[in-house]
Amino acid sequence: MTKLSLRHYWHPLATSNEVSEAPARFFMLGEQLVAYRWGDEVRIFKDLCIHRGAAFTAGGTVRDGNIVCPYHGWAYDGSGACVHIPSLQPGQPIPEKARATAYQAREAYGLVWVCLAAPAMPFPVWPDDAWNRDDYRVVFVKAYDWKASAGRVVENAMDMSHFNFVHTGYTELADGPVIKPYEVTRTERGLNYAYDDGHLLRDYVVEFPFLVHDRKSVVNAAGGKTWSDGDNAKSGDVTLLSFLAAPIDEVRTRIYVFVGRNHSLDREDSAFTAGFDIVMEQDQRIVETQRPEQIPTAISEELHLRFPDAGAVQYRRMLRDLDKAEAFVP
Ligand code: FES
Ligand SMILES: [Fe+2]
C-alpha cells in the first residue's frame, strides 16, 4: 500500500509530433523522462540508467525497440528489463536488479500521455464525446508554458469571477461582475458546475486533478458576445474551451489548449483560435505572481467567498483528500 499521489493520474507529456523515433527528454512532476516511438507504441522511461546513473537522453539510441544507454551500452526492453550488457563475459547472467523504470504511455487527442504509477482514474474523456462526433470539430490551439503550479493554473481556468477584470472586452460575464449562487457537484472524475450569465451557459467540467473544460453554450444570442463566439451566434451553439494542465514540476506547468465547436464548421479554425494568445497572456501575468506557488489545501487559508469560489473550495478539498488517500499499487 502506498500513498495516492499525482503520480497516479494521467498527464499530457507532449504533443504527438514532439515524440519521434529518436529518444527525447521530457519532464513530469519533477521527474526527467525519456520517450520515443517504436512501431505503434510510445515508450516512456525514467531517464536514468541504474548502472551508473547516466541519462538515456545523453546520447542513448534505440535498437530493436530497446533503449540503449550511451555510457556502457546496457539495453532495456519495453518492460524495463535489461536484455543486454556488452561488458558481461559469455554465460554470465544479467543481474535481476538491472531494470529501467518503464511508465504507462497512451496516445490520444493528439497528445502523448503518461501515468507514473497505477492509474487511480480511468483515462480522460472529452465532454460531449466531441472528438468522435461529426457535428463537432476540436482543434489544438497551442501549448503554453507558465511559471506557476498546475493547481493555480486549474483554479484560474475554473474561475469566472475574474473575467470582468482581467479579460475586459474579451470574455466578460454578460450580466456583470456579481456572481449569483450556483451549485457544484462532485462527479466520478472531478467536479461539475454551470453558470448562466444570460448570454452563455458556462458548464465547467473538471477532470481531477488538472483538466478543465469550459463548455459554453449560447442560451440567448441577443444577450451579448464574447471573443470566441462565431459572428452569428445562435441558441444551442457550443464552444468548448479545454485547458489541460501538465505539472512539469511544482512551479512550472504546460497548458495544452483546445477549442471545440458544434457550429460554424465552414469557417476557418483561426477565427476561433486567434484570441487565445491575448487571453492566456492576460491570465499568465496574474497567475505567475500568486503566492504561495502551491495552492493551500487547508480551506482556512486564503479567503474564499461563498459563490465565486465555491468551485475552488471543492477543488481544494479534493486535493487535500488526495494527500490523505491511499491506493493499492502493484
Ligand atoms: S550508466 Fe548506463 S550503461 Fe553504464
Ligand atoms: Fe482568465
Euclidean distance between CA atoms 75 and 80, whole angstroms: 9
> Based on the number of CB atoms within 10 Å of its own CB, is 234 exposed (0-12), middle (13-18) or buried (19 or more)?
exposed
Q: Which residue has the cell 474523456?
A: 125
Answer yes or no: are the C-beta atoms of 221 and 204 closer than 8 Å.
no
Q: What is the pLDDT of residues 113-141, one digit of tens each?
A: 999 999 999 999 999 999 999 999 999 99
- Ligand 1 nearest-atom number relative to CA 54: 1
Is 127-326 assigned to CATH 3.20.20.70? no
The pLDDT tens digits for 147-178 are 999 999 999 999 999 999 999 989 999 999 99
Q: How high is the pLDDT of residue 230?
A: 54
119 Cβ contact partners less than 8 Å away, ≥ 6 residues apart = 8, 9, 10, 104
Average confidence score pLDDT of the chain: 94
CA of 213 to the centre of ligand 2 (A): 13
- Counting from 1 in the atom list of ligand 1, the atom nearest the Cα of 52 is 1
Q: What is the mean pLDDT of residues 213-232?
A: 78
Q: Is the pLDDT of residue 77 over 70?
A: yes
* pLDDT for the residue 227: 59
Q: What is the mean pLDDT of residues 286-315?
A: 96
Domain with CATH 2.102.10.10 in the chain: 2-115
Q: Is 52 in the pocket of ligand 1 (CB under 6 A)?
A: yes
Asked whether the predicted pLDDT for residue 186 surpasses 70, the reply is yes
Residue 75 alpha carbon to ligand 1 centre in Å: 9
71 Cβ inside 6 Å of ligand 1: yes
Which residues surround the ion ligand 2 when the cut-off is CB under 5 Å? 283
Task: Report the pLDDT value the prediction gives residue 234, as an integer from 0 to 100.
Answer: 86
Q: Helix, strand, coil: what percent of the chain each, to 5?
A: 20, 35, 50
- Tell me how far apart the alpha carbons of residues 164 and 170 are, in angstroms, rounded to a whole number: 9
Residue 117's contacts (CB-CB under 8 Å, 6 or more residues apart) are 2, 5, 7, 8, 329
Band of residue 330 on the pLDDT scale cut at 50, 70, 90: very low
Ligand 1 pocket test: which of 45, 51, 82 has the largest number of ligand atoms within 8 Å of its C-beta?
Answer: 51
If you measure from the C-alpha of residue 14 to the centroid of ligand 1, how many angstroms do you get, rounded to a whole number?
Answer: 26
Give the predicted TM-score (pTM) of the model: 0.96
- Counting ligands in written order, the one closest to the CA of 56 is 1
Taking residues 273-278, what's their average pLDDT? 95
- Report how far ligand 2's centroid is from the alpha carbon of 137 (Å): 23
Look up the CATH number of domain 2-115: 2.102.10.10
- Output the CA 69–ligand 1 centroid distance in Å: 6
- Residue span(s) of the chain under CATH 3.90.380.10 come to 127-326
Question: What's the pLDDT band for 4 if we cut at 50, 70, 90?
Answer: confident
**Residue 69 in contact with ligand 1 by CB distance below 6 A:** yes
Atom of ligand 1 nearest to the CA of 49: 2
